[in-house]
Amino acid sequence: MKLRHNIYAVLLTLPLFALTACDRNTASAPMNATQDSGNSQTSQFDDSSLNRSVSNALLRDAAFSDNSISVTSDKGHITLNGSVASLQDKNRATEIVKEVIGVTRVQNNLEIIMTTSSY
């Protein structure tokens, strides 16, 4: 009878240990891009990844496929530099960048350069 009580006690405490182990794992999980770890190496990796994602999103649009836009990222804040052909292209670049996951702010420094066609 005493053995049966010990087995029940063990079986009842196993789920508690499992829950404790799960809680410990989530506490030590690596921080994602939305958390500020204060670690510059981590934020550089996140910035690099975000920079690549933004650049790729812009390159997928035909208006920006010539790679005339440079992208910099600092903790989710994106800065666009370069030139575009119209105000519509400048605004479109901002909208594309805002749709990228991880972007928190866009500073659009793109210059509008009108090209004249020869007759």
pLDDT digits (tens, 9 = 90+) for 65-88: 888 899 999 999 999 999 999 999
pLDDT at 45: 59
Task: For the chain, give every domain's residue range.
Answer: 39-112
Q: Is 8 left (phi over 0), alpha (psi -120 to 50) or beta?
A: alpha
Q: Amino acid identity of 89?
A: D
Q: What is the DSSP letter of 86?
A: S
Q: What pTM did the predictor assign?
A: 0.61
Range 39-112 has CATH code 3.30.1340: yes
Strand 77-84 relative to strand 69-74, pairing: antiparallel
Q: Which amino acid is at 48?
A: S
pLDDT digits (tens, 9 = 90+) for 26-72: 343 344 444 444 445 556 658 899 999 999 999 999 989 888 899 99
Residue 114 binned pLDDT confidence (cut-offs 50, 70, 90): confident
Strand partners, 107: 79
| Alpha-carbon gap, residue 104 to 76, rounded angstroms | 5
